[in-house]
């Protein structure tokens, strides 16, 4: 009986994230886009749409052969933080990428960690015409492929960043983290991406 109670307790702790890599601080907020979206600025692709709908954030890309960005941005945390988002590509061509953005200043000055439904990932910093690749676009084994939902996460402590996918370490780098944070999707062809939620922990 004691063993069964112990196993049940351990299973419960694991389901609550007991074994997850530590976050930067206490849990601050979660958005699943079901109701209040006032903290977000939405930027839809020029050809397509980006809308909260049925408890998720839906992105539709319609353009052909044009690299389009879709963004949901919110305020820059004042302290060390962990940002985690969950999303999936639900339709269209395999050119779509999705994940998170941080240190956003404008479309040519930002940092991002992105994946796609074919098992590829990348992490980079864009500074005008200079791009710094922390993890070059390549296949990575811990991505759930197809329309499966994946979690993309970044931990910021000072100028040190650690990116993870589904809690598995992707890359560590150093950067200036000042700027807004949020969700980012991009595609060079027709595609659909759905973000289930975004979560923030802050010191």
Predicted pLDDT at 2? 57
User: Does the pLDDT of residue 120 top 60, yes or no?
Assistant: yes
pLDDT tens for 85-94 read 999 999 987 7
Which domain does 155 fall in, by range? 25-202
Predicted pLDDT at 93? 77
Asked if the structure places residue 19 within a domain, the reply is: no
CA dihedral 46, 127, 110, 94 (to 10 degrees): 60
Distance CA 193, CA 92 (A): 9
Long-range CB contacts (within 8 A, 24+) of 18-23: 20/167, 21/155, 21/164, 21/167, 21/169, 23/82, 23/155, 23/201
Please tell me the total count of domains within the chain.
1
Predicted pLDDT at 14? 44
Asked if the structure places residue 3 within a domain, the reply is: no
Residue 120 belongs to domain with CATH number: 2.60.120.560
For the whole model, what pTM was predicted? 0.87
Predicted pLDDT at 198? 97
Asked if the structure places residue 68 within a domain, the reply is: yes
Predicted pLDDT at 12? 47
Sequence-distant (6+) residues with CB within 8 A of 35 are none
Mean pLDDT of the chain: 89
Mean pLDDT of 137-160: 96
Asked if the structure places residue 53 within a domain, the reply is: yes
Asked if the structure places residue 161 within a domain, the reply is: yes
pLDDT tens for 56-78 read 999 999 988 778 899 999 999 99
Nearest to 82 by CA among 157, 168, 143, 142: 157
């Amino acid at each position: 009986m004691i063993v069964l109670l112990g196993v049940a307790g351990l299973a419960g702790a694991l389901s609550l994230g007991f074994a997850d890599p530590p976050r930067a601080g206490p849990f601050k907020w979660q958005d699943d886009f079901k109701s209040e979206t006032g903290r977000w600025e939405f930027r839809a692709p020029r050809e397509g749409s980006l809308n909260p709908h049925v408890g998720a954030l839906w992105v539709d890309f319609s353009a052909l052969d044009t690299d389009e960005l879709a963004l949901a941005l919110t305020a820059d945390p004042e302290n060390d933080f962990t940002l985690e988002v969950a999303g999936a590509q639900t339709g269209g061509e395999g050119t779509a990428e999705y994940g998170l953005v941080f240190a956003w200043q404008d479309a040519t000055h930002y940092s991002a960690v992105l994946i796609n439904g074919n098992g590829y990932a990348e992490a980079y910093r864009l500074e005008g015409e200079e791009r710094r690749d922390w993890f070059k676009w390549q296949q990575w084994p811990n991505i759930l492929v197809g329309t499966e939902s994946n979690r993309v996460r970044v931990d910021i402590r000072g100028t040190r960043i650690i990116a993870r996918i589904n809690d598995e370490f992707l890359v560590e780098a150093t950067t200036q983290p000042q700027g807004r944070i949020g969700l980012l999707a991009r595609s060079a062809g027709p595609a659909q991406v759905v973000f289930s939620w975004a979560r923030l922990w802050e010191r």
